[in-house]
Chains A and B, each alone.
Chain A
Amino acid sequence: MKRKSGIEVGAALDLVGGVLKWMAPAFLLPTLVAIGYGENVWWAFVLAGVITGVAGYALDQITGDKEGAAVTPRESFLVVALLWLLIPIFGCLPYILAGGPQLSRPIDAYFEAVSGFTATGATLVPTIEDLDRSMLFWRQLSHWLGGMGIIVLAVAILPRLRIGGRQLLQSELAGPTEIEKLGQTIRETARRLWRLYVILTLIAILVLGFLGVSGIDDEMTFFDAVGHALSVVALGGFSTRTISVAAFSPVTQYVLLVFMIIAGINFLRLYRVLVQRRFDVLARDEELRLYLILILLGSILIGVEVIGGGYESGEAGVRHSLFQATAILTTTGFATADYAQWGPIATVTLLLLMFSGASAGSTGGGIKIIRHLLLFKLVRRELEQTVHREAIVPIRANNRVVDEKALRSLIVFVLLYLLVFAIGSLGLVIDSGRAGEGLSAFEAFGAAAACLGNVGPAFGFAGPYGSFEPFSDLSTLICTVLMWLGRVEIIPVVVILTRAYWRS
């Protein structure tokens, strides 16, 4: 503790403790659900909440003398990496404490919680409906809490983040471009984002609930409506049904499709459009254009095979192609059909879409559209400069010049992303050979890409109707680490592993 270090570990832990304290009350909601449905696991949530609260309070106290110590950009790497490791540790407590037949093993529980909070949506539960309602609700809620980010909420409410909040929000939202403030301060920006997130969720609950109540969709109960609303706005992917969204009517599927597309847009832009009614912002947005083009292109590629190959026909073919392309690209991971059964064109397209990701500043994961866009522009510039050696060509996104430093770190990010993907898939096939899971090469790629991109379901047994349950413990762990790395966008983890980071 007394050793001279370049990092204010105390300040970082202090902040982590503060966030955990705020997470504790969230356990109240599933407690109420358990009591409401007369399930006797309610105590598991209460206990988990108490443990989380005490842990948070303790962290706060131990490092309490650091009050006022600011979280600088350097500490924010540590904070981000730690938060996404620690939150699921407390988040998985109810699964373990309840001691049900599924998820009670710590490694399984942790996988499910990481998948929840990172809004991935990969599950270890083969038959979802076997879980208690309150557990199901907790899974969906963990998506929602992790989606827009407890971090955004923390910036919005924690007074000590008046200084370091900008870096945190930047790492959480903005991708490679500078964050644009929505209000006077970064705090106000975070508040408005959070408000938008809550309102979108409420609208989703109302619309889905209405579909159920009005009899348009008999399958959609109010519980399902809430569960899917929490999941779709966070671009998570957990469902309250084993066969995911396929359990519901086509109308519901279209509604969820629309919500996925909306939630995949940069929330900073979305706020300008929906609240400030600046429709021109969207019309001129390059990222949005590419986002929609990719969805359409993916759908067409898939549709050609799905319809032409006789997997589905007519409206259903169009719907499934559109829905699946969107669900995978936005890294949601819902399914209206078992796409793992489709032909090679569709499955390869889906695998590639896992690398796209939604827009920066959305709740989705993956590489993100803006990075692809900038990468494309970088390539174009390189080609141009081989002809015109002395030409100076700044790269712009939405008519704003992107900093060269940001471009360099973008390249590093994409390379690291591919490297992690390579190591992850290699790890999975090697371990599969050892454990005898019979994972094909394609399925290994799929599982690694789906976890790293926070998509969720992959192919083979880990497909949309299946689960990651057949994986060995080691493979489960590999997947967990991939999800974590994907959520924090790799760089913070790599940075805190360097020696330079800890030196003053």
Chain B
Amino acid sequence: MRIVVLGAGHVGRAIVDALYEEHEITVIDTNADRLTWLADRYDVRIVEGNGTTKRVIREAGIQNCSLFIASTSREEANLVSAMLVKKLSGARVIVRTTSVEYLDAWREREIDVDFMVSSELETANAISGLIGIPAARQTDVFADGKVQVVEFDVPDGAGGNGVVGRKLRDAELPVDSKVVSIIRGDERIMPDGGQRVLAGDRIVVIGSPDAARQWSRVISHERQRVDDIVIFGGGRMGTTIAHVLLDRGIRVRFVEGRLERAREVAEEIPEARVFNASAFDSEFFERERIGHTTAAVFALNDDPGNLFSAVLAKSKGVQLTIALAHDQTSLHVYERGGVDVAINPRQVIAEELVRFGHDPRIRQIAMLDDDRFEILDLTVRAESELAGMRFDQMPETGSVIGAIIRNGDAIIPHSKDILRAGDRVIVFVESRRASTVERIL
């Protein structure tokens, strides 16, 4: 496949790194140095120039390409460029943005691109997965957060909690949830009521956010659930994380050093408690009992600051420290310093940009377990043969309908429920059968 990437910054590099072996990649950037740096390391074609002009886009060979990824940090440039590409070619267009507003406009189909990702939101979701559901390996959110798909590792020695070791139909499962896959060694099981979840399994669960949280408690009873968190740094990243966490019922406190910004944050997020204090002020930590909180996120502008503050927080007793890294080296330094989790937002968005959809009806695709499974988010057509059918009468297709979104409400279907045309469904499916499922629904 021919791919054109706009931007040779951190994100562009990460995309090239992930895709260059299998695809023909052309990179556009205004900065010649960055381009030569890339060309020295990867087998890619480079085009120097302004990617928001027709001439440069044509020069990059847009007519013959099938995927265009606008990955610069300047979102307006990304958008202009994407619009031009949409006009000039039939390529699929993916745009990186930092603005949740653009993202909303895209979801409402007012911005005509195929996929749009926000590094802030993706990072916030990743952190929320780590915090709200501590035992989760991977979390995907569907239908504006009403449905979650979560992968758990069932710890060794788990048991005696009404779930592990029991047949699923007898187990005390959290309501509004469903086990859609059990992975045991090399075996992958689409479970029915007769199967059991065992210690050491990896399981995939679909359910409401509440149910997902309960699952984490059921599975990993030794860890405490986080319901209170301190965010250091009230930048855009910090506030986006706060919004996502507040949506999931987690209490948020902010520490922001600049008075002006602290005030803005306090005005923007009434539900959060905002402090105008230094992230390095030991006395402040004591006064506000920061050490009593179970988790803290460090989203300051500079990595050394994040490290210092995280280590200070750790020494005061914070159990889980999550620090954002602005470049790859920081990840190792953080690790040496004792930060529990380091996240590089650019890495997160690069990973997200590498994914893309096949069916235009699919709003979001998550690929689980090295692409062997997929989660599809589709709307049931009126002419679908499954519309109007009871769940226990549906044919075997190697897939599970994990959730239905009907009139804005998420339903976790049981055997007696009936699928209707127009339902939005979240389907867990083996990759090789994905196209079959898309056809049937």
Contact with A along B287-313 (1 / 0, CB 8 A): 110000000000000000000000000
Whether B275 is near chain A, meaning CB under 8 Å from some CB there, is: yes
Q: Which residue of A lies closest to B263 (CB)?
A: A392
* Residues of chain A from 377 to 391 with CB closer than 8 A to chain B in the complex: 388-391
* Residues of chain A from 387 to 405 with CB closer than 8 A to chain B in the complex: 388-394, 396, 399, 401
Contacts of A394 in B (CB 8 A): 263, 266-267, 270
Distance A413 CA – B273 CA, assembled complex (angstroms): 30
Distance A388 CA – B274 CA, assembled complex (angstroms): 10
Contact size class for B?
10 to 19
Residue from A390, A393, A399, A401 having most chain B Cβ neighbours under 10 A: A390
* Residues of chain A from 343 to 400 with CB closer than 8 A to chain B in the complex: 388-394, 396, 399
Contact size class for A?
10 to 19
Contacts of B275 in A (CB 8 A): 388, 390-392
Question: In the complex, which of the residues B263, B270, B276 contacts A390, with contact meaning CB atoms closer than 8 Å?
Answer: B276
Q: Which residue of A lies closest to B255 (CB)?
A: A390
Whether B277 is near chain A, meaning CB under 8 Å from some CB there, is: yes
- Asked if residues A392 and B287 are in contact (CB atoms below 8 Å), the reply is no
Whether B262 is near chain A, meaning CB under 8 Å from some CB there, is: yes
Distance A390 CA – B265 CA, assembled complex (angstroms): 14
Contact with A along B323-351 (1 / 0, CB 8 A): 00000000000000000000000000000
- Asked if residues B288 and A388 are in contact (CB atoms below 8 Å), the reply is yes
Contacts of A393 in B (CB 8 A): 266, 274
Contact with A along B100-115 (1 / 0, CB 8 A): 0000000000000000
Whether B42 is near chain A, meaning CB under 8 Å from some CB there, is: no
Contacts of A396 in B (CB 8 A): 270
Distance A399 CA – B267 CA, assembled complex (angstroms): 10
Distance A391 CA – B288 CA, assembled complex (angstroms): 10
Contact with A along B271-285 (1 / 0, CB 8 A): 001111100000010
Q: Which residue of B lies closest to A400 (CB)?
A: B267
Distance A308 CA – B124 CA, assembled complex (angstroms): 62
- Asked if residues B287 and A389 are in contact (CB atoms below 8 Å), the reply is yes
- Asked if residues A392 and B266 are in contact (CB atoms below 8 Å), the reply is yes
Question: In the complex, which of the residues B267, B270, B273 contacts A391, with contact meaning CB atoms closer than 8 Å?
Answer: B273
Distance A393 CA – B267 CA, assembled complex (angstroms): 8
Distance A390 CA – B257 CA, assembled complex (angstroms): 10
Distance A337 CA – B277 CA, assembled complex (angstroms): 59
Distance A401 CA – B263 CA, assembled complex (angstroms): 11
Min Cβ gap B269→A in Å is 10
Q: Which residue of A lies closest to B256 (CB)?
A: A392
Contacts of B277 in A (CB 8 A): 390
Distance A401 CA – B266 CA, assembled complex (angstroms): 10
Q: Which residue of B lies closest to A389 (CB)?
A: B287
Distance A99 CA – B37 CA, assembled complex (angstroms): 100
Min Cβ gap A252→B in Å is 45
- Asked if residues B266 and A388 are in contact (CB atoms below 8 Å), the reply is no
Min Cβ gap A457→B in Å is 43
Distance A136 CA – B259 CA, assembled complex (angstroms): 59
Min Cβ gap A487→B in Å is 34
Contacts of B267 in A (CB 8 A): 394, 401
- Asked if residues B270 and A392 are in contact (CB atoms below 8 Å), the reply is no
Contacts of A390 in B (CB 8 A): 275-277, 284, 288
Interface pairs (19), CB distance under 8 Å: A388-B273, A388-B288, A390-B275, A390-B276, A390-B288, A391-B273, A391-B275, A391-B276, A392-B262, A392-B265, A392-B275, A392-B276, A393-B274, A394-B263, A394-B266, A394-B267, A396-B270, A399-B270, A401-B267
B residues within 8 Å of A by Cβ? 259, 262-263, 265-267, 270, 273-277, 284, 287-288
The 10 A-B pairs with the shortest beta carbon distances in the complex, nearest first, are: A390-B277, A390-B275, A392-B266, A392-B274, A401-B267, A392-B262, A394-B267, A394-B266, A392-B276, A390-B276
A residues within 8 Å of B by Cβ? 388-394, 396, 399, 401
* Apart from the given pairs A394-B267, A399-B270, 14 other A-B contacts in the complex at a CB distance below 8 Å: A388-B273, A390-B275, A390-B277, A390-B284, A391-B273, A391-B274, A391-B275, A391-B276, A392-B259, A392-B266, A392-B274, A392-B275, A393-B266, A394-B263
